[in-house]
Amino acid sequence: MLVVRAAPAVPDVCKLITAAELEQITGPLKGAPKPGGPGEAACEYTPVKTPAWITIRLHDGELKYWRSRNGGKNPIALPELGNDAFVNPDFEGSTDLYAKKGSLILRVTMPKGPTAVDMVKAIARKALPRL
């Protein structure tokens, strides 16, 4: 007998962090979060001040692949966010954080800046347990 299991449901990315939680990290937001396009597990937020934007995405795959692709020359390991979690403080002008829970990779991105690494880490700490 063949048993077929459905792929695990991908959570609503816009519900991984509440607007109130995000505002504690970034300050007030302009409007509601914007979900990604069809087939894209993403959500974009626009703070009133800085950073100009924040994107949270979900990917599948392995962190080692993402590190080799987007980790840059000196990715910063984030063991507090799981095995192989890392942040690249400057990936083509953005700060990108990657952490994995189960089969999903959480990616938090915003423009690079003096507080960007701390902000993406704070966002990931809120969102990761909800995967």
Tell me the per-residue pLDDT of 76-104, one tens digit each, with 9 for 90 and over. 999 999 999 999 999 899 999 999 999 99
CATH of domain 13-130: 3.40.1000
pLDDT at 73: 84
Question: Is the confidence at residue 19, as pLDDT, over 60?
Answer: yes
Q: Would you give the end-to-end CA distance of the chain in angstroms?
A: 32
Q: Helix 116-127 and helix 19-26: axis angle, to 10°?
A: 160
Predicted pLDDT of residue 93: 93
**By the 8 A CB rule, do 107 and 58 touch?**
yes
Domain boundaries, the chain: 13-130
Average pLDDT estimate for 56-71: 92
Q: What are phi and psi of 40, to 5 degrees?
A: -110, 125
Stretch 25-43: mean pLDDT, rounded? 92
- The per-residue DSSP string of 23-70 comes to HHHH--BSSS-EE-STT--EEEE-BSSSSS-EEEEEE-S-HHHHHHHH
**H and E: helices and strands count for the chain:** 3, 7
β-bridge mates for residue 57, sequence order: 42, 107
**Structure tokens belonging to residue 127:** 């969102």
Q: What is the pLDDT of residue 10?
A: 76
